[in-house]
Amino acid sequence: MTASTTHGAPTTLAEGFVFAEAPRWHAGELWVSDMHGEAVHTVSPSGETTLRLELPGRKPSGIGFLPDGSALIVSMTERALLRLAPDGSCSVHARLEALVADELNDMVVAPDGTAYVGSYPADPPAGLLLRVRPDGSASVAARDLRFPNGTVLSADGRTLIVAESKARRFTAFDVDAHGNLGGRRVVATTPDAAPDGMALDAEGAIWAGFPLAREFRRVLPGGEVTDRVRVGGRMAIACTLGGPDRRTLFLTSASEWDAVELGGAPTSVVETLRVEVPGTGTP
């Protein structure tokens, strides 16, 4: 096995979330969707948490950013993208119910503001990736995905990789000059566990949460695992690489995933871990 690329064990940065999801490093702070806490927060490098948006009954998930600094936020149950402007005002950026019957899920937003949003399919082979232009117009970019989940874009914007949780694999697409997806291929499989939220590093490895395995892994193209990070028996939900040098791995985890079982209990935490290889691409 390739030598470990981590430094030590994870340390707690922030706590008090119900289900912290979709961590994103942006403009010097970490953004987090508390999916079952129905709110979006930011966390400073020192661990100070700020409530950015309350979304009662709307279940936020994926987060990304437009060129003007506005945050795009997936509203899962209403099948929409919300736009949180720098002044704190919130509006609907795109309504997607005409394209997808299922709830929405995670998302990646390219530097030009094009968003790729996954669905939460009741029938796993029928998962979609939707492409939402910066003006809010939307279309289906890819079909027949087995529960599309965490999604990343390479630094040059020419490759998109999505975790297909129910297929236990990472699938890549070429991205053409118009944002169309093609050249679909499997880049790594994880036969023993389903991947969730993820990040890409400068060596082409994928850091991903594996909720039911209750650990984060660094997976090379082809499937070799170089690192495993346990999170105290909690479910390993999602991660991102950030900080000034993009060598801080932010990890979100929770005791369970089901909202009823959680019962609003603030068991979810954000932890950090220093790594050797910096992050690249988006988010």
Q: Where are the alpha helices (DSSP H) in the chain?
A: 259-262
Hey, what amino acid is at 182? Answer: G
- Decide: helix, strand or coil at residue 70: coil
- The 10s digit of each residue's pLDDT in 70-95 is 999 999 999 999 999 999 999 999 99
Point out which residues pair with 188 in neighbouring strands. 170
Instruction: Look up tokens 């340390």; give the residue.
Output: 11
DSSP reduced 3-state for 6: strand
Query: CA distances (Å), 44 to each of 48, 130, 243, 246, in order?
Result: 5, 31, 10, 15
pLDDT digits (tens, 9 = 90+) for 229-277: 999 889 999 999 999 999 999 999 998 877 777 778 889 999 999 999 9
Residue with tokens 């968003």: 115
Enter the CATH code of domain 6-275. 2.120.10.30
pLDDT digit string (tens) for the chain, length 283 residues: 456 787 779 999 999 999 999 999 999 999 999 999 999 999 999 999 999 999 998 899 999 999 999 999 999 999 999 999 999 999 999 999 999 999 999 999 999 999 999 999 888 788 999 999 999 999 999 999 999 999 999 999 999 999 999 999 999 999 999 999 999 999 999 999 999 999 999 999 999 999 999 999 999 999 999 999 999 889 999 999 999 999 999 999 998 877 777 778 889 999 999 999 999 999 9
> Hey, what are 19's tokens?
């289900």
| Chain position carrying tokens 């530097």 | 111
SS3 165: helix
Task: Please report, as a single letter, which amino acid is at residue 37.
Answer: G
Closest residue by Cα to residue 63 from 88, 48, 84: 84
DSSP 261: H
- Residue 39, beta-bridge partner list: 34, 54
The closest alpha carbon to 117, from 159, 73, 83, 85, belongs to 73
**In the prediction, which pLDDT does 2 show?**
58
pLDDT of residue 1: 42
